[in-house]
Amino acid sequence: LAKTTQPISMDSYEGQEVNITCSHNNIATNDYITWYQQFPSQGPRFIIQGYKTKVTNEVASLFIPADRKSSTLSLPRVSLSDTAVYYCLATDKLIFGTGTRLQVFP
């Protein structure tokens, strides 16, 4: 099964750019990569999704290289409210990893 691997935790300060990388070596041809954000006591919330190259929306960017064995979520100028757990997901496999716990400090 395609399993994703992410750093367990990351720290940052307000205003900095944060890049979270996800490794997915066994991704299938029809898999998209989706990132979710989860706050304590809430369900995950969709952030961004991509297949390859770069995708940008109003909250984040997602870069997937040509070999599609990894992806990087980029959060520009984080704020305290971005403190959460971030999950990457190979869509067709529905397997969430343990996620990356991002802590933003003032």
Partner 1 sequence: NAGVTQTPKFRVLKTGQSMTLLCAQDMNHEYMYWYRQDPGMGLRLIHYSVGEGTTAKGEVPDGYNVSRLKKQNFLLGLESAAPSQTSVYFCASSYSRVGETQYFGPGTRLLVL
C-alpha distances in angstroms, 100 versus 29, 73, 92?
A: 25, 11, 21
**Of 16 and 25, CB closest to partner 1:** 25
**Of 60 and 87, CB closest to partner 1:** 87
CB of 99 to partner 1, least distance (A): 5
**Of 45 and 77, CB closest to partner 1:** 45
CB of 2 to partner 1, least distance (A): 12
How far apart are alpha carbons 53 and 41 in whole angstroms? 33
CB of 62 to partner 1, least distance (A): 13
State the DSSP string of 17-73: -EEEEEE-TT--TT--EEEEEE-TTS--EEEEEESSEEEE-SS-EEEE-TT-SEEEE
Residues lying near partner 1 in the complex (CB under 8 A) are found at 30-32, 34, 36, 41-46, 49, 51, 87, 91-92, 94-99
